Amino acid sequence: MAKRMGWSGVRNVRVRGVGKLLAAVGVVSAIVAVSCGGGGSSCKPSVDLSGNWSGATSGDTIANGNPGVVNATFLQIGCSVSGTWTFDFQDSHLDSTRNVVGSPPEKDDVFLQFGTVVESCDLSSGTCSQVNGCIYDVVGKLVSPTQITGTYQTGQNCSQSQTGSFDIHFVSPLVPTPTPPIIVLPTIAVPTPTPTP
């Protein structure tokens, strides 16, 4: 299975001289254009992942053999996937729900990340900001349009290591949230009394 390398895989790049700097900028621009669908091309998803998915997780290093279930909800719009990824273990202290981001599969490879956004507050200044919490990398294979198998592992900003495998299956499509109809109330004209002479 091919592993996709992100920006975190680029380290210790040194460029000397203006010519090499311009060459590096050109290469980086080409990589960004290709990875972002630039250059006139766009992603061509092989399947729409939108829906509810569920299945077993195994070999989770944090759960230490504790059987678990993954429940995921994906919403695919164009060339992006978002949603939630929930771990449910027999020991409820291990349960967690995380936000998902990624891109749809263009063949059978599935690359996602899930993590949390943490609110960090400085009590002395009274200000708060959002920072990325622990980010997991998910690498999977689309076995069929209704089954994804693969592995997950902790990546950025994580205080402990966690890895495991999953086998999830499509359960149901997303139920659209009904939009309430717009009700326009008629304007009632209040007659103005005419003065009597």
Specify the length of the chain in residues.
197
| pLDDT, tens only, 157-185 | 888 888 999 999 999 998 876 666 666 66
Q: Where are the domains of the chain?
A: 17-41, 51-172
Is the pLDDT at 107 greater than 70? The verdict is yes
Domain 51-172: give its CATH superfamily: Quinohemoprotein amine dehydrogenase alpha subunit, domain 2 (2.40.128.120)
Residue among 135, 129, 102, 101 at smallest CA distance from 116? 135
| pLDDT, tens only, 47-61 | 899 999 999 999 999
